[in-house]
Structure 1
Amino acid sequence: MLGIPASDPAGTVYVLTDDNTLQAIKPYSGTLIWSYRAGEPLSDVLFVGADFTVYLYTESRKLIAVTPGGTVRWKRQFNSPLSRSPAASPEGAVILPMEDGRLIKINGRGRVLWEKPAAYSYTSPVVDQDGSLYISGDNNTIFSYKPTGNGGWSYTLPARAEILALRSDYLLALTSERKAFCLDIRGNLIWENDTLPSGNPVSLLSSPDRIHIVYSSGMVIALNPDGSEESRFQGPPTEGFASIDSKGALYLFGRDRKLYRLMDDELIEIESDTPMTAPLLGAAANLFSGGENWIVYSYKTPASAQGWAGYRGGPLRNGAVDSGASLKRLQEYYEGYPGYLYFEMMSQSPELDKRLEIIDRFEKLQRDNQLIEKFPFAPLLLIDMAEEGISYASFDGSLVSNSSSLVRIKALNLLGDIGDIRTRRFIISHLYQEDSASAAVSAIWALAMIGFDYDGAATRAIASAKERFFNDDGVLLTICDTLEEIVYYNGIIPDQSGLHVLSSIYSSNAPYGIRKRAGEIFDNFTGGPRLK
């Protein structure tokens, strides 16, 4: 079976072949990076999470998590097939819609964050920037779920929604009765269009200034942002595989197994010497597709650099792509959430006992796996409390510092336990500034608990901390353990500074146990033995 490749946020292209092998390809050269053979029949699910984890689903209903480096991180057995493709959540988890009606949220370490009974999903989940998700279920109803899995709003349409898509802060829906609807993310109707032509809509895509509806007949309807129709164009009959780039160029996979580009009402066939698969636009806006002669092709688009000729791999299968978002949107979302302003005020209180009281309460809820469910904004408050210190004006107008390393330590520990990849940048920035060895240990271990470090930023921050705390045995041992965790999570050495740090610890005057630990981890990373 042929389909589209998948891509991670860095642009790496992933393909599944008919011999149950996952292959990773460099986006700019087409060079094979690595391959992983599953050893059992795979379904057509190929999905990349916001933390770059690549997910496969076997025909025996097993979810396999593969690291960006090509090693298997974990496997988990389920008792139901997937009903639709998964969706990525911005904190590093994925949402699995099961055929038995359940929604399951699982993070990159294989931990099930929540499992909720839900209506059978007629569309793949659509995830917003804050982690809220939307699905089309029974009784023609769109259901929303909060990032915690708790129910949000629901909206009943005159007919079942067949396709859902997000456009900025708006949810778009196409129904089986030739109507288009636009809702805001609070569930309020913004507009509807009941003048669509008859036929079977198969794709819903947005460019900066248009909404495109693609029909199986090849008809392409362009709507303005207000829902009014802008134009119609007859393209090739299609099964619905389509992509759109930042310049508004629409790429269609026809039933004739050819690729077409539609831009400014001009349809161009993308030339190839072999029937192609559906298009994928990578992170660099390159267009990728596969052919029956086991070649993956990259093409230049109006928004990309030059493509490359091809990579000889194997017949491709379907894939899916999604991405995450920032903490800024989460803060905007929860500003009006019950209790947020109270806890924010308490977290910024100059009184140490008030901040510790909040953290103690959060720690207990986290142990019971209830923290994010009850206080989904907790990571935002913990970031506030992990800041260097709090200064406030005394009665005589002078500034008094009430900084407490204990608050920072406890807040950083809890951020690591939560494991939201969106907090990683803050923890890295904090580690560069931290002057307390004990708090640095907490920051370093929080990065270990998060794990994701594909760009090597955490590894470099840890290397910097080693230079500042080179005489602290606790820091050195934590660095060793953390680098081991980061390499396990990513399947690669994210930055060579990690090896230099281990080598320097091994050669230092640290206690023998720490030096031995550094040498063992170095050898494991490099395939040693190089250090003994």
Structure 2
Amino acid sequence: MKRHRFLIFFLLLNSFAFSQANHTPLWRVVTGGRILSQPVIGPEGNVYTISEDRKLYSVSPQGEMRWQFASKDPWSETIALTSDNKIIISNTKGLLYLLDLNGNIIWTYKLSSPLRGDILVSPAGQIWITTIEDSIIVISPNGQLSFSIQLPNKPSISPVMDYDGTMYISLNNKQLLSLNSWGKRRWSITIPGITTSLVIGNKGILYLGTDQGSLTAIGKGGEILWSHKISDNNLPLKQLFISMNNQLISLDQSGEISVLSSKGNIIKKTSLMSDVSGYGSLSDSGILYIPTSDYQIKAISLDGVILWTYLSDRPFQSVMTTPGPIIVAGGSDWILYAFKGEPSTFTSWSVLRSDSSNTGLSHRNGFFTYYDEYFKDNPQYQYYKKLIHSTGDTGKWQVLSYIEETLQDPEWIQKMPYATSLLIDIAREGLINPNYHKKRIDNDFPLTRGKAYELLGVIGNIGCRDYLIDALNHEYDTSAIVSCINALGSIGHDYDGGISRSISQAIKRNTENDQIAQSGIQAFRQIVAYNGRPTDSMMLDSLANLFQGPYLPHTRALALSLFEEIKKNNLNVFN
């Protein structure tokens, strides 16, 4: 009887293990070689990855092959997307490509030497490349050299970048460098080991794991906040993750998982029971998807419960969670896989590949959301906020004096969102002129420029209008272009057709960009409402091109609706 019970238990146990090991993929796409890069997810959910057969593959969310882009030389093992959804990729000869989402070449740039590690994209859209000659090459969005930096030692892993443009790069001599967006060194410190993983958490705190299994927290100014031994086996911390509730998760080479508070206190530990073979991912709900050395992908909760596994005949290289929600994985069996999984807004890779576009930027649930959270705990900000909303003008001018001091600070860009937030509040009171925000327009940070454009729209006088028209003619970042167009639309008064022309030209320069097109249509509608008619013939031409052009159905419908409304009401264009 006992023997029968044992046999039944044994069969049930093996049946459970078998069902886990045969978790069913949603689809498979066979490539011509080993998958080299972590998959990258585009705005429509399309997947981009590199294979050893020297091809870049584009696959739809349903697993259908969209296109392939071949190179005569092998590809380097990294892809990234820009903020305006262009693909950046380089071959092993150092030839850098910028492609559109259909695989067409926009430009190429020949690097002085092949790249090492990941491609980073700054908030300003600049492309940061680390080369095998231990230099950093920075390329502008239009494919021109911006500047280069020679590093004092070889990087231990790929550099990472925060949302304010601050770059961190760890070197093999146990030095950690912090650079600003122009490549100027902010600080350097000695760290307790060679860095094997990096991630940026709340309030800009940098967490780094080392080859000896320790975890160190470093403040924005380079101060070491704490350092603890994490790995029980003194093994390298292969990956670090930040959960949605700001807990730290470390993963060492042996598969040991540690969950920690932001202070470094260990909350719990669990294990994958096998070594790690590649880079994994964390979903918003706290499920880890990790490739292991026994040729599996394991889905494990932070409580240590194995939810499912998938077994292949070759090791997996990487797993990527997506908003889909699907999980995309590639490995040595030449196959790109997709599985049903928990959604993830952003994915924390070990070297801060923190979003599914692999720009290398840290994720803060939105840049200015992060600063708003910071302001809540900042007594100086709250003090000035009260002065702004106090009766009379004295308090408001006191705040302006503080802002003028901020703009003369050598590290002014670090305080810029702070100052801009205050300026916008004052602008709503109608107390300042456009000269106060010019420095915020003339900087390398699209998010800051976007807030400055918002400020100009709030003030709304003729000087602001002219600033915005000039800015729109030179702006290249999609989010900043949208902010600038929205500000122009909110001003509305277009006595000479200059606003309509600048918006029409921006739409034309950014063909097939639905986000810019939709903001332009809304601004046109506001201009027509304010002035009683279109203010320039280019507005009608632009609307006609939009509803007949290569845009999403919703964009075309918006354009057609406004066009027909103008025609129906027989609204003539100003001469």
The answer to which structure, 1 or 2, has the higher relative contact order (CA under 8 A, 6+ apart) is 1
Q: For 2:277, what is the secondary structure of its paired residue?
A: strand
Structure 1 equivalent of residue 465 of structure 2: 408
CA gap 1:295/1:123 in 2 versus in 1, 3 angstroms:
closer
Q: Is the 8 A contact 2:281 2:290 kept in 1?
A: yes
Which stretch has the larger CA shift, 296-305 or 327-336? Answer: 327-336
Match of 1:270 among 300, 309, 317: 309
Q: Displacement, 1:222?
A: 2.7
Q: Following superposition of structure 1 onto structure 2, how do residues 23-422 of structure 1 map, counting pairs within 5 Å?
A: 23-27=57-61, 29-119=62-152, 120-137=154-171, 139-169=173-203, 170-197=205-232, 198-209=234-245, 210-229=247-266, 230-263=268-301, 264-272=303-311, 275=314, 277=316, 278-290=318-330, 294-303=334-343, 320=358, 322=360, 326=366, 328=368, 338=409, 355=434, 359=438, 371-372=442-443, 380-387=451-458, 389=460, 403-404=461-462, 406-422=463-479
One-letter identity of the residue aligned with 1:228: N
CA gap 1:224/1:387 in 2 versus in 1, 3 angstroms:
closer
CA offsets 1:129-158 (integer angstroms, 9 cap, x no match): 222221112542211122333322322213
One-letter identity of the residue aligned with 2:201: R
Q: Displacement, 1:61?
A: 0.5
Q: For 1:153, what is the secondary structure of its paired residue?
A: strand
CA offsets 1:197-240 (integer angstroms, 9 cap, x no match): 31232222222353222222222233232212231425311234
Q: Displacement, 1:378?
A: 5.5
One-letter identity of the residue aligned with 2:519: A
Q: Which runs of 5 or more structure 1 residues have no equivalent in the other structure?
A: 306-318, 364-370, 390-402, 510-532
CA offsets 1:29-67 (integer angstroms, 9 cap, x no match): 222333333344322222223332211111221111111
Q: Displacement, 1:499?
A: 10
Q: Following superposition of structure 1 onto structure 2, how do residues 492-531 of structure 1 map, counting pairs within 5 Å?
A: 493=551, 497=555
Structure 1 equivalent of residue 537 of structure 2: 473
Q: Displacement, 1:250?
A: 1.3
One-letter identity of the residue aligned with 1:384: L
Identical residues among aligned pairs (%) = 17
Structure 1 equivalent of residue 487 of structure 2: 430
Which stretch has the larger CA shift, 106-115 or 163-172? Answer: 106-115
One-letter identity of the residue aligned with 2:368: K
Q: For 1:51, what is the secondary structure of its paired residue?
A: coil
Q: Displacement, 1:2?
A: 2.9
CA offsets 1:143-202 (integer angstroms, 9 cap, x no match): 112233332232221323232111223210112333210122232322211353312322
Q: Is the 8 A contact 2:323 2:344 kept in 1?
A: no
The CA distance in 2 between the partners of 1:362 and 1:200, in whole Å, is: 42
CA gap 1:187/1:376 in 2 versus in 1, 3 angstroms:
farther
The CA distance in 2 between the partners of 1:478 and 1:116, in whole Å, is: 43
CA offsets 1:92-117 (integer angstroms, 9 cap, x no match): 33321222232233344324444333
Q: Is the 8 A contact 1:466 1:476 kept in 2?
A: no
Query: Aligned pairs, how many?
Result: 461
Q: For 2:279, what is the secondary structure of its paired residue?
A: strand
One-letter identity of the residue aligned with 2:189: Y
The CA distance in 2 between the partners of 1:500 and 1:381, in whole Å, is: 28
Which stretch has the larger CA shift, 334-343 or 283-292? Answer: 334-343
Q: Which runs of 5 or more structure 2 residues have no equivalent in the other structure?
A: 1-33, 346-356, 376-402, 568-575
Q: Is the 8 A contact 1:133 1:144 kept in 2?
A: yes
User: Which structure dedicates a bigger proportion of its chain to helix?
Assistant: 2
CA offsets 1:405-450 (integer angstroms, 9 cap, x no match): x43133332255242333233234235443412123234445566x
Q: Is the 8 A contact 1:140 1:158 kept in 2?
A: yes
Q: Displacement, 1:88?
A: 2.9
Root mean square deviation of aligned Cα: 4.1
CA gap 1:245/1:497 in 2 versus in 1, 3 angstroms:
closer
Which stretch has the larger CA shift, 160-169 or 286-295? Answer: 286-295
The CA distance in 2 between the partners of 1:132 and 1:222, in whole Å, is: 27
CA gap 1:254/1:362 in 2 versus in 1, 3 angstroms:
closer
Structure 2 equivalent of residue 460 of structure 1: 518
Q: For 1:241, what is the secondary structure of its paired residue?
A: coil
Q: Is the 8 A contact 1:462 1:479 kept in 2?
A: no
Q: Using structure 2 for the length normalisation, give the TM-score.
A: 0.68
Match of 1:442 among 478, 496, 502: 502
One-letter identity of the residue aligned with 1:188: E
The CA distance in 2 between the partners of 1:374 and 1:24, in whole Å, is: 30
Q: Using structure 1 for the length normalisation, give the TM-score.
A: 0.73
Q: Displacement, 1:375?
A: 12
The CA distance in 1 between the partners of 2:273 and 2:338, in whole Å, is: 22
Q: For 1:372, what is the secondary structure of its paired residue?
A: coil
The CA distance in 2 between the partners of 1:152 and 1:89, in whole Å, is: 17
CA gap 1:137/1:465 in 2 versus in 1, 3 angstroms:
same
CA gap 1:447/1:179 in 2 versus in 1, 3 angstroms:
farther
The CA distance in 1 between the partners of 2:446 and 2:298, in whole Å, is: 48
The CA distance in 2 between the partners of 1:46 and 1:206, in whole Å, is: 22
The CA distance in 2 between the partners of 1:286 and 1:204, in whole Å, is: 21
